[in-house]
């Protein structure tokens, strides 16, 4: 009897026919070949269907009406046959050793539900570095292990550089389908709170920045980030103790402050004042937030 593949690679895609072939080719040319490739077309209206048809039986294509990346990923994982899931974006590239590196670690640390690594920027250095996680921080994470604070402070987990145990994914209910940007952070936090995780100081994929990145929607990114933090605190009583109430307040307040500034620039004065008020309720003595409040009050007068 065929035991099935070791890894199921799941890609959700929407109107990325131009970029998709490079992504698919980078996966199909992996040194590690014990995997299946599942692509979920999330209601694309471009040439995605034609592109996928050109790959024949080298992949399985699923289709749904446009419901967003979380729902598309959940559909793909529901069809997966392997015990380990690799979730890839449809615009990034896998390094040749991507699956080989992660699966070797999964075999070495079978109790872990999440194995994740680093990545590089496809177009060259960003933020004055090549790696997504700075080299010094990456080495420290691998040496001492991952803490909740690490995930909380900088949202370091990229699912494109991860393997997830399917049993854990299913037990936690998969991706939150109400999220369109911060679903990776939400899932990583839930995995961390329930299972051991392991970080590898290696870069296994290349992140492509382009105008179609949904993460460029700052309003949505910030509001979802706030929701994910509030959800973590609501669902896991130990989270605030692990993080410290001051750290939680600082991060939430900063997110509300960023929301406020963006809304003010767009002329959404009432919404901006509301967001700034939320920041001040968390950090009432923050001089920067108080200064903006005074400026905006003077503007109103």
Under the banding of pLDDT at 50, 70 and 90, the label for residue 153 is: confident
Superfamily of chain region 7-215: Spore Coat Polysaccharide Biosynthesis Protein SpsA; Chain A (3.90.550.10)
DSSP string of 16-71, one letter each residue: -TTTHHHHHHHHHT-S---EEEEEEE-S--SSHHHHHHTTGGGSEEEE-SS--HHH
- What are the extents of the domains in the chain? 7-215, 216-300
Please give the distance of CA 50 from its chain centroid, rounded to a whole number: 28
Give the pLDDT confidence score for residue 215 in this predicted structure.
45
| Residue 207 β-bridge partners | 121
User: What tokens does 85 get?
Assistant: 């899931």
pTM (predicted TM-score): 0.92
Place of tokens 């072939």: 21
CATH topology classification for 216-300? 1.25.40
Question: Which residue has better confidence, 124 or 149?
Answer: 149
Percentage of the chain surpassing pLDDT 70?
95
pLDDT digits (tens, 9 = 90+) for 83-98: 999 999 999 999 999 9
Residue 125's pLDDT is 66
Mean pLDDT of 17-23: 96
Residue 137, pLDDT > 70, answer yes
Q: What's the confidence (pLDDT) of residue 107?
A: 97
Strands 84-89 and 162-165: antiparallel
């Amino acid at each position: 009897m065929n035991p099935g593949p070791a890894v199921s690679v799941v890609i959700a895609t929407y109107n990325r026919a131009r970029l998709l072939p490079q992504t698919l080719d980078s996966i199909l040319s992996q040194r590690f070949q014990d995997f299946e490739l599942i692509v979920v077309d999330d209601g694309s209206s471009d040439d995605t269907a034609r592109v996928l048809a050109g790959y024949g039986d080298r992949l399985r294509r699923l289709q749904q009406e446009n419901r967003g990346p979380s729902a598309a990923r959940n559909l793909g994982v529901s069809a997966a046959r392997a015990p380990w899931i690799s979730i890839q974006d449809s615009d990034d590239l896998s390094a040749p050793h991507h699956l080989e590196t992660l699966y070797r670690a999964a075999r070495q640390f079978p109790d872990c539900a999440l194995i994740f690594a680093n990545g590089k920027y496809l177009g060259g250095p960003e933020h004055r570095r090549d790696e997504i996680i700075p080299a010094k921080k990456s080495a420290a994470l691998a040496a001492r292990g991952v803490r909740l604070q690490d995930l909380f402070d900088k949202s370091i987990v990229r699912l494109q550089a991860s393997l997830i145990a399917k049993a854990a994914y299913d037990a936690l209910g998969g991706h939150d389908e109400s999220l369109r940007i911060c679903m990776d952070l939400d899932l990583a936090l839930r995995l961390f709170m329930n299972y051991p995780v392991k970080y590898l100081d290696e870069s296994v994929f290349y992140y492509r920045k382009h105008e179609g990145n949904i993460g460029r929607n700052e309003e949505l990114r910030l509001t979802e980030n706030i929701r994910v933090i509030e959800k973590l605190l609501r669902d896991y009583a130990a989270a605030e103790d692990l993080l410290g109430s001051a750290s939680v307040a600082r991060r939430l307040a900063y997110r509300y402050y960023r929301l406020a500034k963006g809304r003010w620039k767009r002329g959404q004065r009432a919404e901006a004042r509301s967001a700034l008020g939320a920041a001040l309720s968390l950090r009432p003595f923050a001089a920067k937030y108080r200064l903006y409040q005074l400026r905006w009050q003077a503007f109103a007068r």
